[in-house]
Amino acid sequence: QSSSYLLWPGTSLWKAVFGVFTEKSERQHGPRKTYMLFDPCNTNKPMLTREQKAAMAAVAQVILLTKVTKMCDSVMQRLALTPSQQETPPREPRPHLAVPINTGYDDVKAVVDFLGESEAYHLASGASKASIVDRIVPLTLQASARGWLGSQAPFTSLADFQTRLREEFRPAGYATQILRELKARTQHPDESLVRYIRVMQEIFKRADQKTPESDRVARVRRQYLSRYHVYLINRTFETFKS
């Protein structure tokens, strides 16, 4: 006689398989038979039969598959979210700065000052160097500077753009003027060595960028206060950092 086991509402799967349940006939006739299967809460546990062991393995597989299914559903729901629905970290606010402008030969502002303002803008904007060359540089150059930009070969880097712009638009005799300023700028008696080095570095930025850093360091050492020579005698430095 075929029969089925009913899983009553509110009854857990564990109790349905391993607890006490009643067998009902499919046709609702015949006596009900109650079987005592393995009860995990019973201290007097009977020996498991082969069928009970198979049932335990089946329940374990069902539980595992249920967990895996829930995990897969959760992943699929996240993947189905649109970019606007996905959680994104808040962006840090960027300061609103005016783009520095250079008009070329007629600009009253020196090209080195323009490059200094441009560098400050680049740092504040957080843009990459490649983005600066491709997108921001065309906005900063106007009038004769824009005409010069159109005649140039593609820039290999931001430093390449800065070098070419400086060489094109610096006034006549500018290199000689900067060299004189470098030779004349010595350390003041009440000026710290750190501040003096920073001032000299700013002047070097306006001068020939091709000068090796070791030569710049040597010039600074020749022109700082004599009291520092005692501490640094017979020592060689190739960079300002060292």
The two three-digit tokens of residue 96, written as one number: 């609103």
Model confidence, pTM:
0.49
Boundaries of domain holding 139: 102-171
Is 87 a domain residue? no
Within this chain, do residues 129 and 166 fall inside the same structural domain, yes or no? yes
- Give pLDDT, residue 35: 45
Within this chain, do residues 139 and 183 fall inside the same structural domain, yes or no? no
Within this chain, do residues 32 and 16 fall inside the same structural domain, yes or no? yes
Is 119 a domain residue? yes
Is 97 a domain residue? no
Within this chain, do residues 16 and 66 fall inside the same structural domain, yes or no? yes
d(CA 142, CA 78) in angstroms, rounded, equals 48
**pLDDT (tens digit per residue) in 54-72:** 777 888 888 888 888 888 8
Is 88 a domain residue? no
| Burial (CB count <10 Å: 0-12, 13-18, 19+), residue 127 | middle
Contact 13, 62 (CB under 8 A): yes
In three-state secondary structure terms, 34 is: strand
Residue 140's nearest CA partner among 114, 163, 164, 116 is 114
The two three-digit tokens of residue 212, written as one number: 């090796």
Is 79 a domain residue? no
Within this chain, do residues 199 and 222 fall inside the same structural domain, yes or no? yes
**pLDDT (tens digit per residue) in 85-106:** 555 555 655 667 788 999 999 9
Cα-based torsion angle of the residue sequence 34, 38, 41, 47 in order, rounded to the nearest 10 degrees = 140
Residue 149: pLDDT band (50, 70, 90) is: very high
Is 94 a domain residue? no
- Give pLDDT, residue 36: 45
Within this chain, do residues 134 and 183 fall inside the same structural domain, yes or no? no
- Neighbouring C-beta atoms of residue 37, cutoff 10 Å: 17
Count up the domains in the chain and report the number: 3
d(CA 100, CA 114) in angstroms, rounded, equals 7
Is 90 a domain residue? no
Domain end point (choices 57, 73, 89) = 73
Within this chain, do residues 152 and 111 fall inside the same structural domain, yes or no? yes
Is 167 a domain residue? yes
User: SS3 helix, strand, coil % of the chain, rounded to 5?
Assistant: 55, 5, 40
